[in-house]
Structure 1
C-alpha cells in the first residue's frame, strides 16, 4: 500500500443537489479511412467536421428497458462534469469518464423507471425550482446558466434529468425504507462516545470500487490512474462522485468523522498511519479496493485547536522593485533577527519602526482558515510569541504576533435525535445500494 501526499482538497459540491456533471463536445472531429461514396461530389478522403456537435443528433449507446440512452446524453453529461469542475482531461481519461457516465445514466434511468412504477413522479415545476437554485449557486440567472451549459457543450436537459432522478429516487426510498432506530440503541452509542473521550477520530473520504477475483488486476490499475489524476489536480470529491461505487459517492466519498474501529481493518490501519492531506491506496479489501483521503483528525470530546480565534498583529517589510533574491534574503534575515526579540504585542510598534515596516491588526482570525503551513507554525505558539518570517520577493516578508487567543469550547455530546438520524441515514444508504443492485439484476439492457 502506498501513501502519497496531495494538496488539500476542497469540499465544494458541484451542484446544490449533489449533481456531478460530465465531456466537452469536440470542436473539430477527424474521420479517417472512410470510403467516400461516389455521388458526383468533390469530397475529401479524410473529412474534418468543424463546429460543435448538433445536440439534436441522437446516437444510441444503450437501451434500458426500452428507454434509449444516446451518445449525446453521455457527451452532454460528461461536458457538465468537466465544465463545472474546470477540468482538462487526457483523451484516455475522457474515455474512462464516458464509460463511468454511461453506467451512471443507466442507474439513473432504472431509478426513474422504478419510481414511476410506484406512481412517483416529479412535477416539472419542482425541477424548474431546483434548476433555478443550481443557477443561483453559480451566481447566474437561469438564462445565463442555460447559455453557460451550451457554451461548455452540455445542456439544461442533462441537469433536469439528473434532478428528476435524484428527487424520484429519494421519494421512493422514503416510501420503501422504514428504518427504526430505538432510543435505547442511540443512548448506548452515546455512552460509548463518552467512554472514548480523548481518543482520536478521523474525517475520512473514500473511493471504493468492487472487484471480483478475475477483475482485481484491472480495478487496481484503474484506481492507480485515479490517484494520478489527483496528483495532477483533480478534486477528490469529483473523482468520488464519478468513479466510486459506494453509497457515499453522492457526497464526494465523505464518511464523516469516524473512529478506526468503525472501518475495515485495512482502512483503519491506513488512517492511523496517515497525516491530514494524505491519500492512501489502492487498499485491498475482501470485496474490492479503496482509496482513502484523510482530511482532518481530532480527539473525541476535546476542543479542536484549529477552531481557536486569534487576535494578531502583522508586521510586513516590502522590497523595492528590482530587488534580487540574494538582497531579499539578506534583508529578511535582519528582519527575522529583529522580530524574534519581540516580547509581546506592546513591542511591535518600536520594532516595526526600527525596520521601516508596516503594522496591520487583525481580530477574530480562525486558525483553521489560514494556509496549512501557517497553521502548523501558529498552533504551538502562545500569546506574545512570533511566527517565523514568511513571504516572497514580490509580496514582501512578514511575521505574525499572537496578541490574543480564544480557544473553542469542547463539543457537546450529540443528542439522542442526532444519533438516531445519523444511524437512519446509514441504514437507508445500505438499503438503497441493495435496491439498485436488484434493479440492475432484473433490467433488460442492450448496448449499441
Structure 2
C-alpha cells in the first residue's frame, strides 16, 4: 500500500497540542538553558510529564502498524519548541505540529529499516543507551550543564528524557548506517574534482557570499502555500530573537540543517537564480524574506560578503586636520606643515595613531578595509600607488587635510580550495543525496496513516 503523505494535522490531537504548546515555558531552554537557582527544587530528572488532565491520549498516526500517539506528538512538539527558540503562537502551532509529526514518522521508518537490516544481516546498527546518553551529556556540556541538570531542565519544560533519547537514537543510528553502507562505496573521480576546480576558477572574479540557509521543502510540508506561510512565521520569530542555527536544525530540510544551516562561502552562479538575486541586494548581517523556488522556500542569512579576485582590497588608517572647503591659504599651509612633520616621524600604521595623538589639532583613526574602487577619488589614487606600510603625502578634501596609511593590500575573493577540500565537499554532497533518496523510497513503500 502506498503511503499517504503526512500533510494534515491529526484533528483529535490538535486541541491537546495547542494547550501543551501555548503553555510551554518561554525561551529555548533546551538549547540555551541555564542551571536552576541554588536551593530550587528541581523536578525529578527521569519523570516523563503526564498528559494534561481531562485530555485523553489517542492515535496521531500509524506508520507500518506502529502507533504514534498524541502524547508522543505533544512531547516532540515541546522538544521542537524548546530547541528551536521559536515562541509558540496560535499562528505557528500548525507548523510545530507538522514538523514534529514528520520527524516522528521519518524516525519510525528509519528504526523499522534498521531493525530489518539487523535481523537479515545479523549485525548491530542501533545505538545503545550508553551511546545515546553520551550524546545527551555532550549537549548538556555545550550549555554548561551536567547530565542530570540537563535532564532536569528538560523536565521543567515538560519534556521527558525518553523523548530526546528516541530522537538521538534514531539520528545517530541512521547516520552510522548510511555512512557504513554507502560511504565506503563512494568514489569521487579526478574528473569531478577537475570540473569543480574549473567552476571555482571561473567564478573567482564574481562576488562571494558567506550564507546560512533554512529550506522548507514544499513536498515535505504539504505544498508551496504551506511552505511560504511557514517561512514567513519563522522569519518573524527570528527577527524577534529566535537563533537562526536552532531554527535551521529543527525546520530546515536541507543537508546543512545538521550544521545549523551553515553553507559557507558561495559564489554567484552556485545558487538558485531567485536566491542569488535576493542575496545580491542584501547587506552582511541581514535576514532575507522568504524566497520561493521551484520546490520550496529559502530563508537566507547573509553573514559576510566579499569581492571577486579581480578587486583590490586595502586596509587603511588616516590622520587628519579639519579644514573648511574655503579655508584661507595660510591655514592650509599650516595644516600641511603640521602633517608633513608628523609624516616624517611615522614609520607606518603601527605608530600613526600614537604619534598623531601628540600633535594638537590632528585626529587619527582606523578606516577599516575597503575595495580601492569604492574609495573617494582623492583617496583612491593614493591607495593604488602606495604599498602596505607606506604613508601618503597630505591629501586635500572638502573636509580637511589627510595622511593616508596603507596597512594591508590584497586581492579580493576567496582562497583557492585544495584538492582534498573539494573532494570532501563532493563526497558530503553525494552522501546527502543518497540519504534523501533512501528516505524517499522508504516513505513511498510505507503505509502511513494520519488521523
TM-score, normalised to structure 2's length?
0.63
Structure 2 contact 86–237 (Cα < 8 Å) conserved: no
**What's the CA shift for 1:75?**
2.8
Alignment-derived partner of residue 31 in structure 1? none
Q: CA deviation at 1:277?
A: 2.5
CA contact (8 A) 1:279 1:292 kept: yes
Contact kept? 2:58, 2:70, Cα under 8 Å: yes
Per-residue deviation, 1:249: 2.7
1:132: how far off? Answer: 1.5
Pick the structure with greater CA Rg. Answer: 2
Find the aligned partners of 2:216 and 2:24 in 1 and give their Cα distance. Answer: 33
Separation in 2, partners of 1:64, 1:349: 73
Instruction: Please name the residue that 1:132 is paired with.
Output: 137
Gaps of 5+ in 2: 1-19, 26-42, 52-56, 119-124, 318-337, 343-351, 370-379, 393-403
Q: Is the 8 A contact 1:301 1:412 kept in 2?
A: no
Return 180-189 or 216-225, whichever deviates more.
216-225
Shift of residue 432 of structure 1? 1.2
Q: Secondary structure at the match of 2:91?
A: helix
- CA 1:243/1:134 → structure 2, altered by over 3 Å: closer, same or farther? closer
> How far apart, CA to CA, are the structure 1 residues paired with 2:226 and 2:171?
30
5+ residue gaps, structure 1, are 1-22, 29-50, 312-340, 355-364, 369-379, 386-401
CA distance in 1, matches of 2:71, 2:312: 48
Tell which deviates more after alignment, 167-176 or 139-148.
167-176
**Cα drift, residue 423 of structure 1:** 0.4
State the partner residue of 2:111: 112
* Counterpart in the other structure of 1:155: 160
Query: Aligned in 2, Cα 1:89/1:56: closer, same or farther, shift over 3 Å?
Result: closer
Pairwise CA RMSD: 4.3
* Structure 2 partner of 1:375: none
Counterpart check, 1:71 vs 2:70: yes
- Please state if 1:206 is matched with 2:206: no
Contact 1:24 1:154 in 2 (8 A): no
Query: Which residue in the other structure is 1:180 paired with?
Result: 187
Q: Please state if 1:422 is matched with 2:425.
A: yes
How far did 1:208 drift? 2.6
Q: Which of 440, 446, 449 lines up with 1:446 in the alignment?
A: 449
In structure 1, C-alpha distance between the alignment counterparts of 2:420 and 2:97, rounded to whole Å: 42
Residue 271 of structure 2 is matched in structure 1 by 263
| Cα separation, partners in 2 of 1:216 and 1:131, compared to 1, 3 Å | closer
Partner of 1:55: 49
Q: Is structure 2 residue 82 aligned with structure 1 residue 88?
A: no
Name the SS for the 2:288 alignment partner: strand
Superposed counterparts of 1:163-242, under 5 Å: 163-177=168-182, 178-211=185-218, 215-242=223-250
**TM-score, normalising length: structure 1:** 0.63
Provide closer, same or farther for how the CA distance between residues 195 and 93 of structure 1 changes in structure 2, counting only shifts above 3 A.
closer
Q: Is the 8 A contact 2:62 2:448 kept in 1?
A: yes
